[in-house]
Amino acid sequence: MDNNDILVLKTAVDWAAQGHRAVLGTIVRTWGSAPRPVGSNVVIRDDGRVMGSVSGGCIEDDLIERVRSSAVAAQAPELIRYGVSAEEATRFGLPCGGTIELLLEPLAARSRLPELLARLEAGRATRRTVARATGEVTLEDADRADELVIDEQRLVAVFGPSWRMLMIGAGQLSQYLAEMAGLLGYQVTVCDPREEYADTWPAQAGALVRTMPDDAVIAFAPDPHTAIVALTHDPKLDDLALLEALRSQAFYVGAIGSVANQRKRRERLIEHFEMTDEEHDRLHGPVGIKNGARTPPEIAVSILAELTAVRYGYRIPPPVKLEGAGGVEAGCVLA
């Protein structure tokens, strides 16, 4: 499924093909508790239809009115700011006096959105540079470390999967996790040398490699924008991947299995592979937050919840089971 970047771009291209005027908005700066991060996009059509989000709905209402009346970005890109004063922050629902600065650009052939969309669908991370005076656009291949830049002359925004996920194991859980991770903007790759699993992996769920997991991790060259999750329940596969992953720069490394299995894995990695306690302590296992998840899609949600918290620098404390609460305790996967 498409992530939000591609949904916004596809919608903008479709609207242009239908003859509509549209404006693309990009968050370029934030101060305080802004509700959406820098780089978030929204596209607004001349009749008020909208795709994407830059505030959760508050600012969008004002933007819709401005676009309808051609009061902003009628001919060239325009920089606007919301929430400068406490009164304005209250009016637009910005929390704690947060401030958002947006570059609005009227979309035209010079915007090169169909070309950008084609690059993204081919898996090419792309640096899109917009000349603020004219709206002219150039497109170049981007590095995962590139970040959004705004100055008096240009906006440089990066589109495409700067975050990556490598999963070990092509089972049912991996398919749910891959689909959900794609919606969160991850470029997903799954590794499984077992024919019975690899042969049934759906191509649309993510790239597939059939090498041994440790070789796959090395070839993946994990960086601080990489998550690695071992999901096979097979020590011959998971352990080899974890051995390389825990010594890499990956920001998140997780492994499926019960508490007892995690304890046995720790002993194997430390005793047989000379892994240090510090290296092993980076492992999130049992993978995911303990929330009672039992089915594959529930477990995928719990993994992504933990992964998202780690990505943004949060630690989720152990949950407390409520007395008399309904539901069933999780099984061996997350227990």
Q: What is the pLDDT of residue 248?
A: 94
CATH topology of domain 163-311: Rossmann fold (3.40.50)
Chain Cα centroid distance, residue 116: 18
Q: Work out the percent of the chain whose per-residue pLDDT is above 90.
A: 55
- Locate CATH 3.40.50.720 in the chain: 163-311
Please list the residues that pair with 294 across neighbouring strands. Answer: none
Which of 236, 229, 196 has its CA nearest to residue 306? 229
Neighbours of 90 (CB within 10 A): 11
Q: Tell me which amino acid residue 53 is.
A: S
Q: What is the pLDDT of residue 327?
A: 54
Q: What predicted TM-score, i.e. pTM, was given to this entire model? A: 0.70
Which pLDDT band holds residue 93 (cuts at 50, 70, 90)?
low
Q: For residue 298, what are the CA distances in angstroms to 148, 294, 324?
A: 34, 6, 22
Residues 249, 66: Cα–Cα separation, whole Å: 45
With a cut of 70, say whether residue 311 has pLDDT above it: yes
Residues 130, 105: Cα–Cα separation, whole Å: 9
Average pLDDT over residues 176-199: 93
196-255, pLDDT tens digit by residue?
999 999 988 889 999 999 999 999 999 888 999 999 989 999 998 999 999 999 999 999
With a cut of 50, say whether residue 330 has pLDDT above it: no
Residues 11, 77: Cα–Cα separation, whole Å: 19
- State the helix-helix crossing angle for 113-121 and 4-17, rounded to 10 degrees: 140
113-168, pLDDT tens digit by residue?
999 999 887 778 899 999 999 999 999 998 766 789 999 999 999 987 778 999 99
11-57, pLDDT tens digit by residue?
999 999 999 999 999 999 988 766 678 888 999 999 999 999 887 66
Q: What is the pLDDT of residue 270?
A: 86
Which of 225, 217, 218 has its CA nearest to residue 255? 217
Q: What is the pLDDT of residue 143?
A: 78
Residues 286, 259: Cα–Cα separation, whole Å: 6
3-state SS assignment for residue 212? coil
Cβ neighbourhood burial of 19 (10 Å; 0-12, 13-18, 19+):
exposed
